[in-house]
Chains A and B, each alone.
Chain A
Amino acid sequence: MDELEKRVVDLIAEVLVDVNKENIQLDSKIVEDLGAESLDIYDMIALLEDEFGMEITDEEVEKIQTVQDVADFIRAHQQAS
C-alpha cells in the first residue's frame, strides 16, 4: 500500500467502528466485506471530502465498491486538479 492508500484505510477504519484495521484490504468491498451501512457511507464521504479537499457526487459514490476504488478516485481527482 502506498501513502494515499494507507490514509484511505485509516479513514475507513475510523468510520467503521466494528472493523479492525488489519482486516481492511485494498480489494475489500466496503459494503459487502466491511459491513458499511448508509450512515457509515455518508460519514465516510464527508471525511474523505474534508481530508482530500474535494467533492464526491452521489453518482460517483455509486461507482465506488472497494477500498482500491476510493484510492483510485482520489488519485484521479488529484491529478485532474
Chain B
Amino acid sequence: MGMVTCLGSGLDANWEAVTRGRSGIAKITLFDASLFACQIAGEVKDNFDPQKYIPVKEFRRLDRFQQFGLVAAGECIHHAALEYPPANPYRCGVIVGSGIGGLATIERGVEVLRQRGPRHAPPLMITMAVINLCSGLIAIRYGFKGHNTGVVNACSSGTSALGEAFRLVREGRLDVALAGGAEAVVTPLSVAGFGAIRALSTRNDDPTKASRPFDAERDGFVLAEGAGMLLLESFDHARSRGARIYAEIVGYGATDDAFHMVMPDSTGDGAYWAMKLAVEEAGIDPSDIDYINAHGTSTSLNDKIETLAIKRLLGNHAYKVAISSTKSMTGHLIGAAGAVEAIYSIMTINKGLIPPTINLENPDPECDLDYTPNKAARKNVEVAISNSFAFGGQNACLVFKGVA
C-alpha cells in the first residue's frame, strides 16, 4: 500500500496522523483564492517527497495527479516488496481511478491558448491531462503489461477501481493488480465549480474545523488532493512469493441511484444496495461488520442518507458497529478518496485501532450512530467495509477481511 494526502506522504505518516485526529485542512496556497467563496482545502504540502520514486527532471512532464499516483504506486510496490518488471507481465495490470484528471494542466493550457494562440499550445498538455495516463505511467515504470484502465466515477472512482481490480483478480484474469486512485483538483476552476453548486464548506476562518461529518453544523465538504495505491494479488501469487498479506478483499457492490446528477436518493436505496451486494458477495452477515469507513463527506444530505442506509442494512447492529469518516481529517480526495479510505480500513484490521471522526461536537439528531467521535478507539476488527458515493449516483462498497 502507498499513499499521499494532506496528512503526509506515506503510509506510516498517514496512519499516525489519522489515528491522532489531526486535520490536514488549511487555507489554499496553490492559487490565490481570496475571491472564492471557499478558500480552504486539503493540499499536499512540502512533506511530499517524490524524489525517491520520480527522477526530478521528469516532474514538469507530469500533472500533479500523475505525480501523486506515481509516488503512491512507488511506495506501494516498495511496501509490497514486489520485484519488477514482473516475470509474467501480462498477468499484472493497473487500474487507477480519478474523477477529473489533469485539470490544472487543462486550465493552464486554456490560458496559453487564449493569450498566445493555438501555435503555442503546450505540447505535453494532452499526456498530462488524460485520466488513463496515470495507470499508463505506472505500467511503463513497473512493466505491468496486463489489463490497464482508468476508472472515472467522480467521488467513487477509487473504490470502483479497487472493485474492478478485485474482480479481475478473482476471475483469474490477472495475478497482480496495482489499483487505487489519484486526484489533484485544488484548482481555481474546480473550487469555483464545486462552490457554484454549494457543495463546499465555507468555514474559511477555521479550516481545521471545516470538515465535520455527521455534525449538526456541517456545511459542505472540503476539497483535497492526493493518491492511494494498493497491490492486489491472487492468494496463490501472494503466498508463493511469501508476501505479507494485510487483508483480503471479499466483496464489492456497485449500484447507481438513477435519481439525480448530484443529489443522493433521499431513501438511500442505492447506497443500501451497494453495501448489501458487497456483503452478499463476501458471504458474511451484516452483523459481522466491525468497522465502516463511511463516505461521510460532511454535506448535509450525504451524511444523513448514508446513516439511513447503514441502519437499513445493519438493523440493530448499526448502533454497535464502529463507524468513522476519515474525510474529517483528510478532506475529500474525490477520485482518490476511496483508495485512501480502503487503506485506512485495512489498517484498522491490522492495528485494532479505529480512526476518529473529528469535529463531531454536536451530532445531527438524524445521525445517531457511533461515528467514533474525536478520539481514536481500540477495537478488534475482522471485517471492515468502505463506502463511496458519487455525483452521478454511483455507489460503491468494498468489504475487507483479516487474514488469519
Query: Which residues of A approach B to under 8 Å, CB–CB?
Result: 13-14, 17, 39, 42-43, 45-46, 49, 55
B127 contacts which chain A residues (CB < 8 A)?
39
In the bound complex, do residue A55 and residue B61 qualify as a contact, i.e. CB atoms below 8 Å apart? Answer: no
Partner of B123, one of A13, A14, A43, A55: A43
Partner of B122, one of A14, A17, A46, A55: A46
A14 contacts which chain B residues (CB < 8 A)?
57, 60
A22 to chain B, nearest CB (A): 14
Q: Is the interface of B mostly helix, strand, loop or mixed?
A: helix
B283 within 8 A of A: no
Q: In the complex, what distance in Å separates the CA atom of A49 from the CA atom of B122?
A: 11
B268 to chain A, nearest CB (A): 48
In the bound complex, do residue B123 and residue A39 qualify as a contact, i.e. CB atoms below 8 Å apart? Answer: yes
B83 within 8 A of A: no
In the bound complex, do residue B57 and residue A43 qualify as a contact, i.e. CB atoms below 8 Å apart? Answer: no
Q: In the complex, what distance in Å separates the CA atom of A67 from the CA atom of B402?
A: 59
Further contacts, 18 of them, CB under 8 A, given A17-B57, A43-B123, A55-B119: A13-B57, A14-B57, A14-B60, A17-B55, A17-B58, A17-B61, A39-B123, A39-B124, A39-B127, A42-B123, A42-B124, A43-B61, A43-B124, A45-B123, A46-B120, A46-B122, A46-B123, A49-B120
List 4 A-B pairs, minimum CB-CB distance, nearest first. A42-B123, A17-B57, A17-B58, A43-B123
Tell me how many residues of B have a C-beta within 8 Å of chain A: 11
User: Which one of B55, B60, B123 has the greatest number of beta carbons of chain A within 10 Å?
Assistant: B123
B61 contacts which chain A residues (CB < 8 A)?
17, 43
B247 to chain A, nearest CB (A): 37
Q: In the complex, what distance in Å separates the CA atom of A43 from the CA atom of B124?
A: 7
Q: In the complex, what distance in Å separates the CA atom of A43 from the CA atom of B126?
A: 12
Q: In the complex, what distance in Å separates the CA atom of A14 from the CA atom of B56?
A: 10
Q: What are 19 of the A-B contact pairs (CB < 8 Å)? A: A13-B57, A14-B57, A14-B60, A17-B57, A17-B58, A17-B61, A39-B123, A39-B124, A39-B127, A42-B123, A42-B124, A43-B123, A43-B124, A45-B123, A46-B120, A46-B122, A46-B123, A49-B120, A55-B119
